[in-house]
Structure 1
């Protein structure tokens, strides 16, 4: 009987220690990132993305300051249109946006710059096609 009482007393004394050390919050935090990819990634503002793309074009196509401003305006407009189309769930419209961008670039860029841009786009398309086949 004394042993039974002593065992119960030890269990009662030890059980609060186990109850306090068990922390389910970190385990839940570790599981949450596994479910997170379902949420869409937040993209930078259209202006920031347009600046990044236009800066790349300025470097690769040697744009003048005037050309840079015009190309930046076109890129910003196109990115806003694409974001709006994606947000509204539209499937079409992207070809029209690309055609608009191409038409505007033809009025802004020189023939040599247009040729370089065409080569850049072709290389980008090839990289995309290779990435699709490797998956």
Structure 2
């Protein structure tokens, strides 16, 4: 009887622990596809420019209710700006006029893509984030 209780207790413990062992970390498919991408030149490892542009564009799509056409255009602008900023950083330019030029380019492009209401919402978002999102 004692052995039977031990056996049942062991089975219960094993069943309780099985979900822990069943969970294995599998890399996301997007992460494996980005492996061949060029590593950023900065010491801090950043996601690829395309990934960062998608993340920011997705945020704008949700918050500004972008159409599919607007999203494609915003994504292209964000990708270009992030690539240009990464190139400036790789060349050691941390606070030069190049960043201001890129921000001006993004702002000008957004003015042709977004509606006046969306531009107002974007300005409010940037003010809330301290202007950080406009800078990257």
C-alpha distance in 2 between matches for 1:41 and 1:85: 15
Q: CA deviation at 1:126?
A: 7.8
What's 2:61 paired with?
Answer: 58
What's 1:122 paired with?
Answer: 127
Structure 2: gaps spanning 5 or more residues: 1-41
C-alpha distance in 2 between matches for 1:126 and 1:97: 14
User: How many corresponding residue pairs?
Assistant: 89
What's 2:99 paired with?
Answer: 94
TM-score scaled by length of structure 1: 0.63
Pick aligned residue for 1:111 from 116, 119, 125:
116
Query: Once superposed, what is the RMSD of the aligned Cα atoms?
Result: 1.6
Q: 1:78 to 1:66 in 2, by over 3 A?
A: same
Q: CA deviation at 1:40?
A: 1.9
- Structure showing greater Rg: 1
**1:116-135: CA deviation from partner (whole Å, max 9, x where unpaired):** 000000011189xxxxxxxx
What's 2:88 paired with?
Answer: 85
Q: For residue 44 of structure 1, give the secondary structure of its aligned residue in structure 2.
A: coil
Which structure 1 residue ranges, 4+ long, deviate > 2 Å from structure 2?
none
More helix by percentage: 1
